[in-house]
Amino acid sequence: MSYGFTTIYWRDMIRFVRFKTLLVSSLLQPALWLAFFGIAMSSSFDALVAGIPSIAGVPQVGYLTFMAAGIIAMTTLFTSLFGGIVILFDKNWGLMREILASPMNRNHIIFGIGLSGVTKSFIQAIIIMVFGILIGAAFFAGFSAVQVIISIIGILAFVGMFALGFLFLSAAIAISMESPEGLQGVTTLLTMPIFFASNALYPIDSFPEILKIIALFNPMTMLVTGIRYFTIGPEFMAMGKYYHYSPSVVILSYLGLVIFTVLMFTLALWRFKKAVVT
């Protein structure tokens, strides 16, 4: 059983490495987004809030640092939601029929694809963090070496759980689709509301009440909260607003991601058990 699980995992990772265009674009795109959008917008936002008084003893971070955490989340979301495309290709090429007909438990198929997507998300998250620091994002400012290591582990824990949840959702959608265009249409429809109804690029305090509630229960808001806690710290000011993330808030955010991931795995397993591939 474990052999089948590792086969699914390594097969997808080998395909990721061998497709040079996909590999390079998936690694460069978030870095370019951070460079062009982040640097351009940070100068504008920082100028707008320059006259707002700061709170004594509370670190003041620029918009580049604030939104860099959102770019990590955005990249993880895009990578995960489009991760199911490999299932659709296998269906169209007849490979999924052979996999489903094998003695392998179907949940091993889901986990193999899911964990390969998590590995890709880890690689991208680390690249964005390093690139963000190089262009001026104040990640881990004042942290000791031990705190940096603990923070990176915390970030990857949040990224991994979030990525698994959306990879399971993507797998459930892909096994139900017949064409790449259909999958792309559904994932594109999901991506924009999830991304913009979150705290990735701006505070959610000024949202309309109904949108604020949606944002609070949005898995992406939970992910960004965790990333900011581990990259910036529990207390800071950004865009003229005061932020304080207590350990209980961070733990609740992670538990929210765990619940979301379990629900998405249940959905994916149900769809795979009902799947008939001809």
Cα separations (Å) of 179 from 91, 110, 170, 264? 9, 19, 14, 22
* E strand or H helix at 119: helix 106-134
pLDDT digits (tens, 9 = 90+) for 219-236: 999 999 999 999 999 999
| Chain position carrying tokens 């709170």 | 55
pTM confidence score = 0.88
Beta bridge partners of 242: 237
pLDDT of 269: 87
In sequence order, what E strands does the chain have? 235-238, 241-244
CA dihedral 4, 162, 214, 188 (to 10 degrees): -70
How many CA atoms lie within 13 Å of 216's alpha carbon, on the beta-carbon side?
11
Query: Rounded CA gap, 110 and 207, in Å?
Result: 36
Sign of CA dihedral 61, 62, 65, 68: positive
What is the tally of structural domains in the chain?
1
pLDDT of 10: 79
Supply the Cα-derived Rg of the chain in whole angstroms: 20
State the residue range of the domain holding 216. 2-274
Question: What residues of the chain score a pLDDT lower than 50?
Answer: 1-2
Query: Rounded CA gap, 222 and 147, in Å?
Result: 21
Token pair for 126: 């680390």
Cα separations (Å) of 35 from 45, 110, 120, 133, 196? 15, 34, 21, 11, 19
Alpha carbon distance, N-terminus to C-terminus of the chain: 24
Angle at 20 between CA 16 and CA 26, to 5 degrees: 65
The region that residue 142 occupies, defined by phi over 0 for left and psi between -120 and 50 for alpha, beta otherwise, is: left
pLDDT of 85: 75
pLDDT of 158: 97
Helix, strand, or coil here: 275? Answer: coil
Burial (Cβ within 10 Å: 0-12, 13-18, ≥19) of residue 87: buried
